[in-house]
Amino acid sequence: MGIDRRLSRLAHGLIHMSQHEGVATSQSIAKMFGTNPVVVRRMMAGLRKDGIVGSQKGHGGGWMLTKKLENISLLDIHQALGNSNLVSINLTNEQPQCLVVQAVNDALEKSIIEAKTLLYKRFAEISLADIAGSFENKKQNLTENQKTALCPSSQS
Amino acid sequence: MGIDRRLSRLAHGLIHMSQHEGVATSQSIAKMFGTNPVVVRRMMAGLRKDGIVGSQKGHGGGWMLTKKLENISLLDIHQALGNSNLVSINLTNEQPQCLVVQAVNDALEKSIIEAKTLLYKRFAEISLADIAGSFENKKQNLTENQKTALCPSSQS
DNA sequence: GGCTTATGTAACATATATAGTTGCATGAAA
DNA sequence: TTTCATGCAACTATATATGTTACATAAGCC
């Protein structure tokens, strides 16, 4: 499987979006990720499909949140991105009639499903508001000077 | 991440190896996977490095187990294959100084580590003997006729 | 109306990891 | 010395995420 940074990038982007008035353009979001507006649109399209964000075309357009941070879980974002594998171990599909293969795949699948289930559970428990909250806590320990240098990419 | 079938294939192959006298050639093992001897050698090289199998060159050579099935766990095989990602979600590496990014990555990493830890635990608990045992149980419910057709690829 | 600014989308290129293939060197038994 | 096996380098194939370019479409502004 590839190196999937979409979940972490989107969580980052959505939290910054909630801290600004008005819409955010694909361009401004792309700056946070050091990437291209088209990459942002591709990721956001999945979120829009699931009602997490909305988009507005034309002059003054862009992206806006259509849910509150506390109602967006990491699982919501993960699922909006389409079901990826999550665990990168696959079962053999050769010799499916072989009882050894079946026993091996059964054992692997049970363990993998357990791990996936736990990860889904944790992702469902964590909302973007939770994450933003832990961020606010950290921020209160900084001086005013440090605050202005927090995330340059979110300020343009 | 890619579609990694090495763990399931090797578990399959090693169990069959334990059920036969003498060595198994890369060629005969490859037949179980419907693939090429070179693919088998590449996977087995990792196991040999960790003392799970040994190899013998030349005429009459091949691969043999150097551990008992009960002393080979799924985790042993996984680790012999080199540390792959296991969970296919990655953290953003852009804007590492941004507290939002740090909070997001912290939350993701904690959840992912929990899931990985559980998977490692399960893999460590399951030996190839356990899997072969569940296979033996199934086999006893079959007629003699069915037994001869169990896994054609292991009989050549 | 025409210009500007934005999303929407297709098409293509790049990066990475697993898998598959070919070729040749090396070692050991017949 | 022939045959049969592993050892290994180099190349191709495939899949997924990512990055890039180009163009169509929509909406506000002059």
Written as tens digits, the pLDDT of chain B (156 aa) is 568 999 999 999 999 999 999 999 999 999 999 999 999 999 999 999 999 999 999 999 999 999 999 999 999 999 999 877 899 999 999 999 999 999 999 999 999 999 999 999 999 999 999 999 987 766 666 665 555 446 655 554
Q: How far in angstroms lies nucleotide D23's C1' from the CA of residue B100? A: 36
Q: How far in angstroms lies nucleotide C22's C1' from the CA of residue B126? A: 38
- What is the reported pLDDT for B134? 86
pTM of the model: 0.90
Cα separation, B65 vs A48, in Å, equals: 54
Domain boundaries, chain A: 6-145
How close does chain A come to B121, measured CA to CA in Å? Answer: 9
Q: Which positions of chain A have pLDDT values less than 70?
A: 1-2, 137-156
- What is the reported pLDDT for A134? 86
- What is the reported pLDDT for B126? 98
- What is the reported pLDDT for B2? 66
- What is the reported pLDDT for A144? 58
Q: Which ranges of A22-155 would DSSP assign to H, the alpha helix?
A: 26-33, 37-49, 74-80, 99-125, 128-139, 144-147
Assign A89 to helix, strand or coil: strand
Cα separation, A118 vs B114, in Å, equals: 8
Decide if B100 and A12 are in contact by the 8 Å CB cutoff.
yes
Architecture of the CATH domain B6-149 = Orthogonal Bundle (1.10)
Bases of chain C below 7 A from a protein C-beta are 4-11, 15-23, 26-30
- What is the reported pLDDT for B156? 45
> A98 to chain B: which residues are within 8 Å by CB?
12, 32, 150-151, 153-154
Q: For residue A81, report the phi and psi dihedrals to the nearest 5 degrees.
A: -80, 0
> B91 to chain A: which residues are within 8 Å by CB?
5, 8
User: Which residues does B68 contact at the CB level (< 8 Å), separation at least 6?
Assistant: B129
Contact pairs from chain A to chain B, CB under 8 Å: 214
Cα separation, A72 vs A126, in Å, equals: 8
A63 touches strand D (CB under 7 A): no
Architecture of the CATH domain A6-145 = Orthogonal Bundle (1.10)
List the one residue out of A111, A98, A94 whose CA is nearest residue B127. A111
Beta strands in chain B (DSSP E): 53-56, 62-65
Beta bridge partners of B62: B56
Contact B87/A139 with Cβ under 8 angstroms?
no
